[in-house]
Amino acid sequence: MGQKVHRCREVGCRTMIPYEETWCAVHAPLHPRRISAKTYKQYDEKRMADPERGERNAWYRKPPWRQMRDYIMERDNGMCGYCAMWDRVIPADMVDHIVPREFDRELELDEDNLIASCNWCHRQKTNWEQKYYGTGKGRKLRSDVIPITDVKLIKTIFKQA
């Protein structure tokens, strides 16, 4: 039986490394504070034990979302739509709700509210959403904000984040 391996955690890197490592030899120097795979596993176990998160994430396993996700990935050619605004060609890892699902459930399957996204852009946008919309665990949704539906405004948002 072979050694367990996984991909380097650097966005876009496809180098296979031992399970105990976090980054490949090329990217390890860029991350002086190494986080072990054990730490990630403990974090994931704790995060998945949250019942509210389980209910919220169950929606993402249902056929309507999976079909829409596949459609959006195909529509966007599997490339990050946010990165495209800066003429960068980066593979998408997921499909993102432009207006968060938590803020407006009516838009959850609206293709105009969905865009393919890389991990980096998704994290940046999520950080902004938590401040602007009040989304995320333990936060109170704000009713005094206007939903931003124009993806071109996201470029401005990333500059402010």
* Measured distance CA(86)–CA(133) in Å, rounded: 25
The pLDDT, as a whole number, for residue 98 is: 94
Per the listing, tokens 């005094």 go with: 144
Q: How far apart are CA 9 and CA 130, in angstroms?
A: 24
Alpha-carbon span 32 to 34, nearest angstrom: 6
Structure confidence at residue 21 (pLDDT):
84
Model pLDDT for residues 3-12, shown as the tens digit of each residue: 788 999 888 8
The residue extents of the domains of the chain are: 1-49, 63-160
Q: What is the pLDDT of residue 60?
A: 86
> Does residue 33 have a pLDDT over 70?
no
What is the model's pLDDT at position 152? 82
pLDDT of residue 4: 85
